[in-house]
Amino acid sequence: AQKITQTQPGMFVQEKEAVTLDCTYDTSDPSYGLFWYKQPSSGEMIFLIYQGSYDQQNATEGRYSLNFQKARKSANLVISASQLGDSAMYFCAMRLPNTGNQFYFGTGTSLTVIP
Amino acid sequence: DVKVTQSSRYLVKRTGEKVFLECVQDMDHENMFWYRQDPGLGLRLIYFSYDVKMKEKGDIPEGYSVSREKKERFSLILESASTNQTSMYLCASSLPPPQGGETQYFGPGTRLLVL
């Protein structure tokens, strides 16, 4: 069963505007971690941001913020003031300590920033 | 800085060959993972290991085996390569809980082509 769902295969955003990348997750475990990664065309996976299931506040890291809505089981990534270098694949992932610390990844969203 | 290295960035092999993909991390991480990445499918876990000589099957272990003789090294073995194993292979490592928010750190990936 799909544990992480990213419904947007591709997204476009104008430079300097904000964009939201959607992610929903499925687990009945009370303890879990949610992650976002960026993968440029070069292929390396770059960690962006983390949200723990018990965290009260939404995580932020510079221009990245995670809109965590626990009741809806969503963990959307918001990128503010988009830059051309933000063009990449973005993956949402969930870590479940009760499954041997496996990470479950979504299928990714390809973001293109338009000048 | 955590460094995860993979033995090759690009590899071309023939059907039926035995293929070894090596991964080395320098941060004394207990957990190590092998994924394959295919367009539209995201990252799928092949095998992971949470200690030396320990291994666990992921979602798609068929056709693969692994070896972890030393803590820093995790090898993925394709016993008899087939064309449907043409893919991008990503290695990752991480600390276990209770560090909690620890992300996975990824290697640069190996693009394998099986002819």
For the stretch B57-91, pLDDT in tens is 998 999 999 999 999 999 999 999 999 999 999 99
Calpha distance B53→B19 (Å, rounded): 20
CA distance readout (Å), A43 to A84, A91, B28, B82:
17, 12, 24, 23
**Does the pLDDT of residue A93 top 80, yes or no?**
yes
Taking CA atoms, what residue in B is nearest to A35? B103
Tell me whether B77 touches chain A (CB under 8 Å): no
Give the pLDDT of residue B101: 60
Calpha distance A1→A101 (Å, rounded): 17
Instruction: Give B89's contacts in chain A (Cβ within 8 Å).
Output: none
From B33, B88, B103, residue closest to A43, measured CB to CB: B88
Comparing A69-83, A96-110, B31-45, B52-66, the range with the smallest average pLDDT is: A96-110
Tell me whether B100 touches chain A (CB under 8 Å): yes
CA B32 to chain centre: 8
Is the N-terminal amide bond of A97 cis, ω within 30° of 0? no
Closest to A75 in 3D by CA, of A28, A34, A27: A34
Mean predicted confidence (pLDDT) in B103-110: 92
